Chains A and B, each alone.
Chain A
Amino acid sequence: MSNIPDHTGALTCGLRDFFAAADGRGLAQAYARIAAAGATPPPPADWDETEYAFNRLFVGPGPLAAPPYSSVYLDPEPRLMGRSTSLTRAVLQAVGLESTWIGSIPDDHVAVELDAALALRNIAATTGPGPGGELAALRRYFVAGHMARWVPRFADRVLGQLSLPGPIVTATRKLELWLEAELAALPPDAGAAPARDIPQPSTGGDYA
Chain B
Amino acid sequence: MSGWDRTRMERTLENGVTRRGFLKGLALTGAAAAAPCLLLRALSADANQRFGEGYQVFRNACPRNCYDTCSIKSYVKDGAVRFVEGAPESTYTHGGLCVKGNSYVRYAYSPDRIKYPMVQDGRGTGRWKRISWDEAMDRIAKKILELKQQDGSLLGLALTKYSGNFGITNYGVEGLMSSLGYTTRLVGTPCWPAGIDAQNFDMGNMWCNDPEDMTQSRYIIIWGANPAWCSVHSMKYIYAAREAGAKIVVVDPVLTQTAAKADEFWQVVPGSDGALALGMCRHLLDLGLHDAGWLKANALGFDAFAAYLRENVTVEWAAKTSGVPAERIRAVAEEFARAKPATIWIGYGMQRHVNGGASVRAIDALVAMTGNIGKVGGGARYGHLQTWGFNYHAMIRKPPEGSKGFVGAAGPKGEFDFAQGGAAVKYTDRALNINKTAQEILDAKDPAVRMLWVSCKNVLSQDFDRNKLLQAFKKLELVVVADHFFNQTVEQADIVLPVTTLFEEWTVNVSYWHYWLSLNEQAVKPLFESKSNIEIAAALSKRLNELAPGSCTFPTQLDTREWMEKEFNKKVYELFGIQSWEDLRKGPVKARMPQAAWSDLKFGTPSKKYEFTSDLCAKNGNNALPVYVEGRKPYDKLRLLTPHSKFNIHSQFQNLDWMMGFNPAPVVYVHPAAAAERAIKDGDTVRVFNKTGEVRLTARLTANVARDTLLMYEGWYKGLAFNCQNLVDDTPADMGKFKTGAPGVAIHDQFADLVRA
Q: Does A173 contact B (CB under 8 A)?
A: no
Q: Are A104 and B6 neighbours in the complex by a CB distance under 8 Å? A: no
Closest chain-A Cβ to B726's Cβ sits at a distance in Å of 21
The answer to whether A24 and B129 have CB atoms under 8 Å apart is yes
Q: Given the known A-B contacts A51-B129, A99-B39, A116-B40, are A63 and B718 also in contact in the complex, defined by CB atoms under 8 Å?
A: yes
Q: How far apart are B260's CB and chain A's nearest CB, in angstroms?
A: 33
In the docked arrangement, what's the CA distance between A94 and B30, Å? 9
Contact partners of B22 in chain A: CB under 8 A: 94, 134, 138, 194, 198
- The B369-387 residues at the A interface (CB cut-off 8 A) are none
- Tell me whether A189 and B30 are in contact (CB under 8 A): no
Interface size on B, residues (CB 8 A): 78
Cα distance, A52 to B121, chains bound together (Å):
9
B111–A195 contact, CB under 8 A?
Answer: no
A138: chain B residues at CB < 8 Å are: 9, 22-23
- Given A96-B28, A190-B4: A56 and B128 within 8 A (CB)? yes
Name the residue of chain B whose CB is nearest to the CB of A26: B130
**A66 CB, nearest partner CB in chain B, Å:** 10
* Also in contact, A55 and B39, with CB within 8 A (given A93-B47, A193-B3): no
**Which A residues, 158 to 208, have Cβ-Cβ distances below 8 Å to chain B?**
189-196, 198-201, 206, 208
Closest to B44 in A: A98
Interface residues of A, count at CB 8 A: 84
Are A198 and B109 in touch, CB under 8 angstroms?
A: no
State how many angstroms separate the Cβ of A29 from the closest Cβ of chain B.
12
For chain A, residues 105 to 136, give those with C-beta under 8 angstroms from any C-beta of chain B: 105, 111-112, 115-116, 118-119, 122-123, 125-127, 130, 133-136
Most buried by A among B32, B37, B39, B130: B39
Most buried by A among B29, B35, B496: B29
CA of A97 to CA of B37, assembled, Å:
10
Tell me the complex Cα distance, A80–B526, Å: 13
In the complex the two chains form, is A201's CB within 8 Å of B132's CB?
no
A195 and B34 CA atoms in complex are apart in Å by 25
A94 lies within 8 A of B132 (CB): no
Are B79 and A9 neighbours in the complex by a CB distance under 8 Å?
no
B33 touches which of A90, A98, A122 (Cβ 8 Å): A122
Instruction: Please tell me if the beta carbons of A97 and B128 are within 8 angstroms of each other in the complex.
Output: no
Q: B3, A191: Cβ atoms under 8 Å?
A: yes
Docked-complex contact A145 and B9, CB < 8 angstroms? yes
> Contact flags (1/0) for B87-118 with A, using CB distance below 8 Å?
00000000000000000001001111111101
Chain A, residue nearest B526 (CB): A104
Please, which residue of chain B has its CB at the minimum distance from the CB of A51?
A: B129
Q: Is the CB of A52 within 8 A of B129?
A: yes
Chain B residues with Cβ below 8 Å from A4 are none
Minimum C-beta distance from B496 to chain A (A): 5
Digit string of B1-28 for contact with A (CB within 8 Å is 1, else 0)? 1111110111111110111011100111
Q: Assess whether B18 is in contact with A55, with CB atoms less than 8 Å apart.
A: no
B294 in the interface (beta carbon within 8 A): no
B736 vs chain A, min Cβ distance (A): 34
A 3-54 contacts with B by CB, 8 A: 9, 13, 16-17, 20, 22-24, 48, 51-52
Q: Which segment, of B48-56, B157-165, B206-214, faces chain A? A: B48-56
State whether A97 touches B121 (Cβ < 8 A). Answer: no
Which one of B9, B18, B78 contacts A86 once the chains associate, using CB atoms below 8 Å?
Answer: B78
Instruction: Select the residue from B9, B11, B527 with max chain A CB neighbours within 10 A.
Output: B9
A155 at the interface (CB under 8 A from B): no
B42 proximity list for chain A (CB < 8 A):
96-98
Proximity string of chain B (227-247) to chain A, C-beta cutoff 8 Å, 1 when within and 0 when not: 000000000000000000000
Q: Are B110 and A79 in contact (CB under 8 A)?
A: yes
Is B43 an interface position by the 8 A CB rule?
Answer: yes
The answer to whether A52 touches B38 (Cβ under 8 A) is no
| A119 touching B490, Cβ below 8 Å | no
A192 contacts which chain B residues (CB < 8 A)?
A: 3
Q: List residues of chain B with CB within 8 A of the CB of A81.
A: 79-81, 109, 527
B38 near A60: Cβ-Cβ < 8 Å: no
In-complex Cβ contact of A195 among B8, B31, B38, B129 (8 A): B8
Across the interface, A96 reaches (CB within 8 A) one of B21, B29, B130, namely B29
Determine if B40 and A119 form an interchain contact, defined as CB atoms under 8 angstroms apart: yes
Q: Is B127 an interface residue (CB 8 A)?
A: yes
Contact A9 B36 (CB under 8 A): yes
Do the beta carbons of B41 and A93 come within 8 Å of each other? no
Interface pair A103/B109, CB less than 8 Å apart:
no
- Does any Cβ of B come within 8 Å of A59's Cβ? yes
Contacts of A208 in B (CB 8 A): 54-55
Interfacial chain A residues near B26, Cβ < 8 Å: 95, 127, 130, 134-135
Asked if B621 lies at the interface with its beta carbon under 8 angstroms from chain A, I say no
Please indicate the chain B residues that have their CB under 8 angstroms from the CB of A80 in the complex. Answer: 109-111, 113, 527
12 A-B residue pairs with Cβ-Cβ distance under 8 Å, sorted by A, are: A48-B121, A48-B127, A61-B114, A64-B112, A81-B109, A94-B19, A95-B27, A100-B39, A116-B40, A122-B36, A123-B33, A125-B33
**Residues of A bordering B, CB below 8 Å:** 9, 13, 16-17, 20, 22-24, 48, 51-52, 55-56, 59-64, 67, 69, 72, 78-83, 85-87, 89-105, 111-112, 115-116, 118-119, 122-123, 125-127, 130, 133-138, 140-141, 144-145, 189-196, 198-201, 206, 208
Q: Which 8 A-B pairs have the closest CB atoms?
A: A190-B3, A95-B30, A103-B525, A201-B15, A81-B80, A90-B13, A122-B33, A145-B6
